[in-house]
């Protein structure tokens, strides 16, 4: 007699996390799965929107301080410039051009989970910055960092775009601690932190009227449909953003407009949604100086310098091992 209760074989990380997240309560999915070819393009569109102030703030910081940053990074000779979550590299190219123009001896090591984003970045660097030695690595941050741990060059690690904000505080400490453990005394870590500000400014950044952020949020459902043979009707889910000014947490949700059953054939799984039930997809944490210093201390790091935007309270902070 055939056993009909055999669990499906869940093989990829995507399959495992989708299965775990959608069978949990409350439901959740990881924002790292927003990114495929379509998701990469949607995020580039978001970064170009006037309400999404983070990109312009960081661009301004790097442009206005490129000479100081060059001096700081290059004062001990050859180094690897390692960028976690490199994306399209638009902001980083300000530094790459400055280093190239000044004949600084370095290797650019962009790391990203999206192979599509890395290919685009590598190709654009070849055209725009032919003197820059680029060594792209596709994968998760820590897989890649372990892979390059044994390179002889000094490491300068970039984590831009306030991507640190995608982690809860305890996760951020764990993340920074792992990086700290892979650093040598002369290595540097530069992290972008978006600071607490007018709550409306933050909500507008993640809830544009044009619906680009909504499409980006829903792209995770589109990926489940395409890659795991799901039948999500994206029009039956609402993108919803909330911000708590006390904790500094901006959170994104997908909300089921109706009671519905979703089938994911690759997982042999049927998911029941009640009307107005949520899937938590992303956190974008905002900081103040006290929290940044606490994160550093808990991670075994010390801040050596910081650069601030003229508007919207955005900071790039540089750390060394404590």
With beta carbons less than 8 A apart as the criterion, state whether 255 and 238 touch.
Answer: yes
Average pLDDT estimate for 219-244:
97
**pLDDT for the residue numbered 145:** 75
Average pLDDT estimate for 117-129:
94
Can you list the domains of the chain with their CATH numbers? 13-49+200-285 (no CATH), 53-197+288-321 (3.40.50.150)
Angle, helices 66-74 vs 53-64, to 10°: value is 70
Model confidence at 8: pLDDT above 60: no
Alpha carbon separation from 120 to 88, 114, 115, 186, 270 (Å, rounded): 7, 10, 9, 31, 37
Work out the widest C-alpha separation in the chain, in whole angstroms: 74
d(CA 189, CA 159): 8
Q: What angle do CA 293, 295, 300 make, to 5 degrees?
A: 95
**pLDDT for the residue numbered 151:** 80
d(CA 45, CA 94): 20
Tell me the pLDDT of the chain averaged across its residues: 93
**pLDDT for the residue numbered 141:** 78
Cα atoms in the Cβ-side hemisphere of radius 13 Å centred on 318: 18
**pLDDT for the residue numbered 113:** 83
With beta carbons less than 8 A apart as the criterion, state whether 95 and 110 touch.
Answer: no
Model confidence at 32: pLDDT above 80: yes
pLDDT for 257-311, tens place per residue? Answer: 999 999 999 999 999 999 999 999 999 999 999 999 999 999 999 999 999 999 9
Residue 202 backbone phi and psi in degrees, to 5? -70, -45
**pLDDT for the residue numbered 4:** 44
d(CA 252, CA 173): 22
Cα atoms in the Cβ-side hemisphere of radius 13 Å centred on 298: 14
**pLDDT for the residue numbered 140:** 81
With beta carbons less than 8 A apart as the criterion, state whether 115 and 147 touch.
Answer: no
Model confidence at 15: pLDDT above 70: yes
With beta carbons less than 8 A apart as the criterion, state whether 99 and 174 touch.
Answer: no
d(CA 300, CA 13): 30
d(CA 127, CA 103): 17
d(CA 238, CA 242): 13
Q: How far is CA 121 from the centre of its chain?
A: 16
Q: Which two tokens stand for residue 119?
A: 């290919």
**pLDDT for the residue numbered 1:** 42
Q: Which two tokens stand for residue 182?
A: 């892979």
* Peptide bond preceding 15 in cis form (omega within 30 of 0): no
**pLDDT for the residue numbered 7:** 54
Higher pLDDT, 1 or 107: 107
Alpha carbon separation from 275 to 106, 254, 255 (Å, rounded): 54, 12, 8
Least confident of 134-148, 172-186, 214-228: 134-148
Average pLDDT estimate for 2-9:
50
With beta carbons less than 8 A apart as the criterion, state whether 308 and 315 touch.
Answer: yes
Enter the pTM of the model. 0.89
Q: Which two tokens stand for residue 167?
A: 């982690």
Task: With cut-offs at 50, 70 and 90, classify the pLDDT of residue 218.
Answer: very high
d(CA 34, CA 22): 16
With beta carbons less than 8 A apart as the criterion, state whether 101 and 66 touch.
Answer: no
**pLDDT for the residue numbered 53:** 94
pLDDT for 52-84, tens place per residue? Answer: 999 999 999 999 999 999 999 998 889 999 999
**pLDDT for the residue numbered 144:** 77
**pLDDT for the residue numbered 2:** 43
User: What H or E segment, with its residue span, contains residue 192?
Assistant: strand 188-194
């Amino acid at each position: 007699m055939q056993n009909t209760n055999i669990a499906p074989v869940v093989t990829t990380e995507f399959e495992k996390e989708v299965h775990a997240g959608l069978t949990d309560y409350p439901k959740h999915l990881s924002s790292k799965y927003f990114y495929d070819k379509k998701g990469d393009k949607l995020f580039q569109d978001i970064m170009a929107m006037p309400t999404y102030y983070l990109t312009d703030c960081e661009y301004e910081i790097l442009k206005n301080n490129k000479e100081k940053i060059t001096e700081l990074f290059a004062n001990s000779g050859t180094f690897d410039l390692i960028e976690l979550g490199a994306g399209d590299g638009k902001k980083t190219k300000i530094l790459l051009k400055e280093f190239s123009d000044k004949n600084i001896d370095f290797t650019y090591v962009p790391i990203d989970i999206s192979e599509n984003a890395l290919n685009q970045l590598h190709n654009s660097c070849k055209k725009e910055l032919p003197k820059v030695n680029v060594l792209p690595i596709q994968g998760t941050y820590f897989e890649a960092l372990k892979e390059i741990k044994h390179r002889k060059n000094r490491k300068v690690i970039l984590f831009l775009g306030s991507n640190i904000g995608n982690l809860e505080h305890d996760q951020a400490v764990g993340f920074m601690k792992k990086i700290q453990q892979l650093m040598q005394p002369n290595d540097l870590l530069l992290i972008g932190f978006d600071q607490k500000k007018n709550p409306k400014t933050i909500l507008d950044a993640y809830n544009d009227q044009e619906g680009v952020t909504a499409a980006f949020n829903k792209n995770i459902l589109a990926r489940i449909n395409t890659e795991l043979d799901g039948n999500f009707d994206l029009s039956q889910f609402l993108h919803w953003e909330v911000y708590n000014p006390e904790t500094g947490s901006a959170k994104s949700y997908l909300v089921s407009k109706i009671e519905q059953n979703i089938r994911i054939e690759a997982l042999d799984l049927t998911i029941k949604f009640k009307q107005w039930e949520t899937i938590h997809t992303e956190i974008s944490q905002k900081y103040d100086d006290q929290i940044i210093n606490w994160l550093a201390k808990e991670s075994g790091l010390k801040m050596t310098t910081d650069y601030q935007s003229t508007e919207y309270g955005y900071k790039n902070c540089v750390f060394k091992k404590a």
